[in-house]
Amino acid sequence: MVKRKNPLKSLLFFLLILLIVFFCLFPFGQMLSLSLKYSWDWGNPSWIPTKINLDAYKELLNIGSSLKDVPESVLLLLEESPELTAVQKKAILATYQDTGDVFPFLKYFRNSLLLSFLASFISTCLAVLGAYAFSRLQFLGRSVVQRGVLFVYMFGGILLLIPLYRIFASLLLLSSPGGTLASLLIIYVVQTLPVSLYMLGNYFRTIPYSIEEAAMIEGLSRFGTIMKIIIPLSLSAIFTVFIYCFMIAWNEYMFASVFLKSYKALYTLPIGLKTLFMSKNAIWDRIMAASMLTAVPVMILFMSIQKNLTSGLASGGVKE
Amino acid sequence: MHHNSANILKRGSLGTRAQQEQRLGWSLVFPSVVIILVLILYPVLYNTFLSLFAFDVSGNRTFVGLGNYAEVLRDREFRLALGTTLLYVVCTTLGTTVLGVVVALALHRKFPLRSLVRSIVLLPYVAPVISVVFAWQFVFDPVNGIFMEIFHSQLGWFSQRMNIVGDPSTAVWAAIVFSIWKNFPFTYLMVLSRLQAIDQTLYEAAEVDGASPWQQFKAITMPEIYFVVNALILLRVIWNFNKFDEVYLLSSNVKVLSVYTYLKAFTGTMDFGQGSTLAVLQFVLLIGFILFYVKKVLKW
């Protein structure tokens, strides 16, 4: 667009770009830098740690059960008491190094992964079928259903939180861990289904109908065309929708905080992190390392689908 | 699923092709429709029903008619929460829109490493709220945070180190800045894809006619992005009016309506009656705004 280059204007433009990049990245830089710093280094405004501290990551990922938390006197005592068996010694040491109580990151990570994966898988499967019907089949009430799906965008989570809690509680689902997990799973499917239907419906409309017609003339049934033509042709879009749902479920805090309140073992990463932050174990390096480890999988997934996701979002399917 | 639909197809072969389509269409959307009806529409109605009851500590309910509504409307904290919500929504919508449009215009031009910069700009939007919220808390940390380091120690705009997130009167501003940072990439993305769809010959013709860049922007770019920007404003208002996570996780001191409702219903005495009343009122206010906006601004 700009043909004649004015050096001053170019310089200002590059400064603007630099500013934008800095604005987007500096909280991430802050997070990474702090997760690697010792506590005496926090006030240092430079992002490069004076001395690299990997303890927080090691602790969260359970790498190397270091003896650093065990007081010297205890270590000495253990060495000097031959009457203790090896098992007893181990048990004593374990009371000092049990990081699971501080923040069982891996357990929360597994919970989050399980819930998000199942929810987005179910949601994507249902959406493939529904979206195909929306985009290809003429049936009575189609436009009403389609508009209904859009209308659902307007309902904020808070409007559904109290009634869903009451409903699941009165079905006695919340009195067992399994029932609670199932309730939350269903809620995540509902939360992601409208957006999946919408995004996939938009995508299916871009597939030329003539391909399907040809297949049906060859004798393939409608359902056969979905399985043999539509799904293989839209694998990347389906994957994109799957990841998008995964990210929504991975980030969800409100429903999880209410439903899982009394089941500490089922905590997902968002509530786990929030609880850690409110607890006496809250130390910046630990929080930031946990934040990094929560963010990285999502960012990697995003990078893998970026191109498709951006066009999917741009065609109007989105949820917040 | 496979068997079901296959059976339906077989039976359908007795009927006409249109009837087959009807049946297949409904059987394909059926699971989704049931889930949405049972778990979204029914709860919304049930919530309205609950708002007519008072709940005691053990969860038993008594019918009070519109009593909860009268009580909530008299509640000073409700009005404060409404005010905070309006401030939050107006400022975040304005900030998100302006920043998103400016960044989209900038990244629409050609420059080295453009595709890398375009990816970087999306990061705030895709990063989990729970992770970045702690980074921002540290940014505003009174002792070690970069914000006080710059605006107190370097520039001297603040006479003392303040705890912006911790103080209820200033926390809303931190929440606004955080929300703009988190959500402007979405506006950027939408506006950019609209900009890319503008016919380039329009600009070429304008250049031939001697139009200045500013005139080109006003006469071509603005009308082209007008609709998408207004639609984005509407979406942003809807989303931010209902926003919970981004506000509550940064600071529970920012009592916007969603946070106020959450605290009412799930902490302390767990007042489900007033909680559901608040949720209904919030929904009604939002619908009112949407109708107004669609009629007056989008002129549909």
Q: Per DSSP, what are the bridge partners of residue B61?
A: B55
- In chain B, count H helices and then E strands: 15, 2
Q: What is the pLDDT of residue A65?
A: 55
Residue A183 has pLDDT above 70, yes or no: yes
Longest dimension (CA), chain B: 83
Q: What is the DSSP letter of B158?
A: S
CATH of the domain at B136: 1.10.3720.10
Q: What are phi and psi of B112, to 5 degrees?
A: -60, 145
Look at A43 and B144 and tell me if their CB atoms are within 8 Å: yes
> Does 3.40.50.720 match the CATH number of domain A104-314?
no
* Count: domains in chain B: 2
Residue B124 sits in which domain range?
74-296
> For the stretch A254-266, what's the b/e string if a residue is b when 16 or more beta carbons lie within 10 angstroms of its beta carbon?
bbbbbbbeeeeeb
Does residue B34 lie within any of the structural domains? yes
The residue whose two tokens read 């979204």 is B40
Residue A308 has pLDDT above 80, yes or no: no
CB A110 within 8 A of CB A179: no
Q: Which residues in chain A (166-225) have CB-CB distances under 8 A to chain B?
A: 166-167, 186-187, 189-190, 193-194, 197, 221-223
Q: For residues B233 and B187, what is the distance between their CA atoms, to the nearest angstrom?
A: 9
A249 in contact with B at a CB cutoff of 8 Å? no
Domain regions of chain A by residue span: 7-53, 67-101, 104-314
Does residue B57 lie within any of the structural domains? no
| Nearest residue in chain B measured CA to CA from A136 | B25
For residue range A62-106, list pLDDT tens digits in order: 776 555 556 666 667 777 776 667 777 666 666 655 544 567 889
The upper half-sphere exposure of residue B233, i.e. CA atoms within 13 Å in the direction of its Cβ, equals: 18
Question: Which residue, among B130, B283, B286, B294, would best test binding to A if mutated, counting the most A CBs under 10 Å from its CB?
Answer: B130
Does residue B61 lie within any of the structural domains? no
Look at B21 and A31 and tell me if their CB atoms are within 8 Å: no
Look at A314 and B189 and tell me if their CB atoms are within 8 Å: yes
For residue range B102-123, list pLDDT tens digits in order: 999 999 999 999 989 999 999 9
> For the stretch A269-303, what's the b/e string if a residue is b when 16 or more beta carbons lie within 10 angstroms of its beta carbon?
bbbbbbbbbeeeeeebbbbbbbbbbbbebbbebbe
Does residue B239 lie within any of the structural domains? yes
What are the structure tokens assigned to A126, written together? 């249902």
**Of the candidates B39, B47, B193, which has its C-beta nearest A190's C-beta?**
B39
Q: What is the mean pLDDT of residues B169-183?
A: 94
Give the count of Cβ contacts less than 8 A between chain A and B.
273
Q: What is the mean pLDDT of residues A48-62?
A: 82
For residue range B219-274, list pLDDT tens digits in order: 999 999 998 899 899 989 999 999 999 999 998 889 999 999 999 999 888 889 99
Q: What is the pLDDT of residue A45?
A: 72
User: ipTM of this model?
Assistant: 0.86
- Rounded to the nearest integer, the mean pLDDT of chain B is 88
Q: For residues A71 and A248, what is the distance between their CA atoms, to the nearest angstrom?
A: 44
Question: Are residues B231 and B125 part of one domain?
Answer: yes
Question: Are residues B262 and B139 part of one domain?
Answer: yes
For residue range A271-301, list pLDDT tens digits in order: 999 988 888 777 888 889 999 999 998 888 8
Q: What is the DSSP letter of B141?
A: -
> What is the 3-class SS of B11-34, one letter each residue?
HHCCCCHHHHHHHHHHHHHHHHHH
| Nearest residue in chain B measured CA to CA from A252 | B245
Question: Are residues B144 and B27 part of one domain?
Answer: no
Q: What is the pLDDT of residue A320?
A: 65
How large is the angle between the packed helices A235-251 and A177-204, nearest 10 degrees? 140
CB B82 within 8 A of CB B282: no
Q: What is the pLDDT of residue A240?
A: 86
Question: Are residues B137 and B198 part of one domain?
Answer: yes
Look at A13 and B36 and tell me if their CB atoms are within 8 Å: no
Question: Are residues B32 and B140 part of one domain?
Answer: no
Look at A130 and B32 and tell me if their CB atoms are within 8 Å: yes
Torsion (CA) A108, A114, A116, A122 in degrees, nearest 10: -160
Question: Are residues B39 and B166 part of one domain?
Answer: no
Contacts of B138 in chain A (CB under 8 A): 30-31, 34, 284, 288
Report the residue count for chain A. Answer: 320
Question: Are residues B79 and B38 part of one domain?
Answer: no
Does residue B63 lie within any of the structural domains? no
Q: For residues B276 and B296, what is the distance between their CA atoms, to the nearest angstrom?
A: 30
- In order, the DSSP letters of B167-199 are SHHHHHHHHHHHHHHHHHHHHHHHHHHHHHTS-
CB A166 within 8 A of CB B273: no
Does residue B215 lie within any of the structural domains? yes
Q: What is the pLDDT of residue B8?
A: 46
Of the candidates A116, A124, A150, A123, the residue with the CA atom closest to the CA atom of residue A237: A124
3-class DSSP assignment, residue B59: coil
Question: Are residues B275 and B144 part of one domain?
Answer: yes
Look at A34 and B138 and tell me if their CB atoms are within 8 Å: yes
* B231: CB partners within 8 A, 6+ apart: B298
> What is the 3-class SS of A272-295, one letter each residue?
HHHHHHHCCCCCHHHHHHHHHHHH
A228 in contact with B at a CB cutoff of 8 Å? no
Residue B3's pLDDT band (cuts 50, 70, 90): very low
The residue whose two tokens read 């917040």 is A320
Identify which has the larger pLDDT, A98 or B282: B282
**Of the candidates B9, B203, B235, which has its C-beta nearest A221's C-beta?**
B9
Of the candidates A95, A59, A54, A60, the residue with the CA atom closest to the CA atom of residue A78: A95
Question: Are residues B226 and B125 part of one domain?
Answer: yes
Question: Are residues B162 and B31 part of one domain?
Answer: no
The residue whose two tokens read 């429903």 is A255
Contacts of B243 in chain A (CB under 8 A): 156, 320
Look at A126 and B31 and tell me if their CB atoms are within 8 Å: yes
Question: Are residues B147 and B45 part of one domain?
Answer: no
**Of the candidates B42, B121, B126, which has its C-beta nearest A298's C-beta?**
B126
Q: What is the pLDDT of residue A1?
A: 46
Distance in Å, alpha carbon of A68 to nearest chain B alpha carbon? 27
Look at B128 and A298 and tell me if their CB atoms are within 8 Å: yes
- In order, the DSSP letters of A55-80 are HHHHHHHT-S--STTS-HHHHHHHHH
The upper half-sphere exposure of residue B147, i.e. CA atoms within 13 Å in the direction of its Cβ, equals: 20
Question: Are residues B190 and B241 part of one domain?
Answer: yes
For residue range A110-136, list pLDDT tens digits in order: 999 999 999 999 999 999 999 999 888
| Nearest residue in chain B measured CA to CA from A183 | B39
